[in-house]
């Protein structure tokens, strides 16, 4: 058995809180009866009270409350398969994981801020499919297009700097891998979200950009970093040190907005600097992506659990009726 709303377990405490309230009510009623008449006259006026009846009535009331609270948790037994038709767009996240993304001019680092922005966007999506390609010197498809946002989030959490294990930054290869992952057809319902500091050490990105423009796939770019730049912190021998270049000098990485702006402009997308907005991806979603033409995905089967709340609720109602039918007092014969 599973529960549809397991976070509401606190409701089961209500019956236990009701028991002291019922006991206090009995004490108040006894005090009122004693104030009304002498205890010797109570059997004549009210009938002879049976202690067992009163305890049974209290137990029935507590049991009814417990079963009703149990029903509110949504006990589920079994499931049915229901067809689900989704409408949305395909969003491919193209995430830069080169070592320059470890710079901390955007807190806590460029890469961690980008991952946080992606996670925040997932809760705003409805019928969209999402996929993830990471790139540094080479690209890697981390998650194909899927409606399973939980699985996507788990894979995103595992992303680290230089995940493809090839140094450098090759935006062109990353962009081509993103286009391949999007597949063909329904181009008006596809978009790429590029999250990068804009550095490209190979310079072959224009050919991939031309392919994206020819397929009319929009690229929305978000720049992470600052024009002033920052040093890159890496771990070496268990210590955090600044990355140095071949000349022995500490490397300073800067946000290169030129490449990101041109990528967005030539594909009909848009560019935002991450540091200028608290939620840049949500800004793009609301003002740019939601206006794209939505596609209808193939009909899927979704497991829908059966809510069996009727079982404990019905039993609780029966206990309540039994309590109402059970007399609290028995009239004496001949009185």
Distances (CA, A) of 163 to 33, 135, 192: 80, 8, 20
- Mean pLDDT of the region 20-29: 70
> Which range among 38-47, 98-107, 215-224, 277-286 shows the weakest confidence by mean pLDDT?
38-47
Q: What is the DSSP string of 72-90?
A: HT-EEEEEEEEEE--EE-E
Q: Tell me how far apart the alpha carbons of residues 323 and 312 are, in angstroms, rounded to a whole number.
A: 16
> Which range among 10-24, 81-95, 225-239 shows the weakest confidence by mean pLDDT?
10-24
More confident residue, 81 or 307: 307
**Torsion over CA: 217, 222, 226, 229 (sign):** negative
At residue 54, does pLDDT exceed 50? yes
Strand, helix or coil at 112? helix
Structural tokens at position 185: 């057809």
Per residue in 155-173, pLDDT (tens digit) is 999 998 876 666 678 899 9
Q: Tell me how far apart the alpha carbons of residues 323 and 321 are, in angstroms, rounded to a whole number.
A: 5
Confidence of residue 335 (pLDDT cuts 50, 70, 90): very low
Confidence of residue 44 (pLDDT cuts 50, 70, 90): low
Per residue in 175-204, pLDDT (tens digit) is 999 999 999 888 888 999 999 998 876 667
Residue ranges of domains in the chain, CATH in brackets: 2-80+305-330 (no CATH), 87-296 (3.40.50.410)
How would you class 21 by CB atoms within 10 Å of its CB: exposed for 0-12, middle for 13-18, buried for 19 or more? exposed
- Mean pLDDT of the region 142-167: 87
Per residue in 241-284, pLDDT (tens digit) is 787 777 778 888 899 999 999 999 999 999 999 988 888 999 89
- Mean pLDDT of the region 98-123: 92
- For the chain, the average pLDDT equals 83
């Amino acid at each position: 058995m599973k529960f549809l709303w397991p976070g509401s377990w606190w409701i089961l405490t209500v019956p236990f809180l009701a028991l002291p309230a019922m006991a206090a009510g009995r004490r108040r009623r006894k005090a009122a009866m004693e104030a009304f008449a002498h205890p010797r006259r109570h059997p004549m006026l009210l009938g002879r009270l049976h202690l067992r009846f009163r305890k049974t009535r209290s137990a029935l009331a507590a049991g009814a409350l417990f079963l009703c609270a149990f029903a509110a948790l949504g006990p589920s037994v079994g499931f049915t398969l229901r067809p689900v038709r989704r409408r949305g767009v395909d969003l491919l996240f193209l995430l830069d994981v080169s070592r320059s993304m470890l710079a901390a001019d955007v807190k806590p680092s460029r890469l961690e801020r980008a991952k946080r922005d992606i996670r925040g966007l997932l809760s705003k999506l409805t019928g969209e499919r999402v996929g993830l390609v990471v790139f540094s010197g080479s690209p890697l498809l981390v998650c194909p297009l899927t409606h399973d946002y939980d699985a996507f989030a788990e894979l995103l959490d595992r992303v680290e700097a230089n995940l493809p294990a090839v140094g450098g930054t090759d935006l062109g290869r990353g962009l081509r891998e993103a286009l391949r992952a999007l597949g063909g057809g329904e181009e008006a319902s596809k978009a790429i979200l590029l999250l990068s500091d804009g550095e490209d050490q190979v310079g072959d990105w224009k050919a991939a950009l031309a392919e994206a423009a020819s397929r009319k796939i929009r690229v929305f770019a978000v720049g992470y970093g600052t024009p002033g730049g920052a040093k890159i912190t890496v771990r070496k021998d268990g210590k955090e040190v600044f990355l140095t270049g071949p000349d022995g000098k500490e490397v300073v990485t800067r946000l290169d907005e030129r490449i990101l702006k041109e990528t967005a402009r030539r594909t009909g997308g848009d560019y935002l600097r991450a540091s200028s907005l608290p939620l840049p991806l949500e800004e793009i979603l609301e003002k740019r992506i939601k206006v794209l033409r939505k596609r209808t995905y193939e009909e899927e089967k979704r497991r829908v659990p059966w809510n069996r709340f009727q079982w404990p609720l019905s039993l609780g109602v029966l206990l309540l009726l039994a309590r109402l039918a059970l007399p609290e007092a028995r009239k004496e014969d001949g009185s």
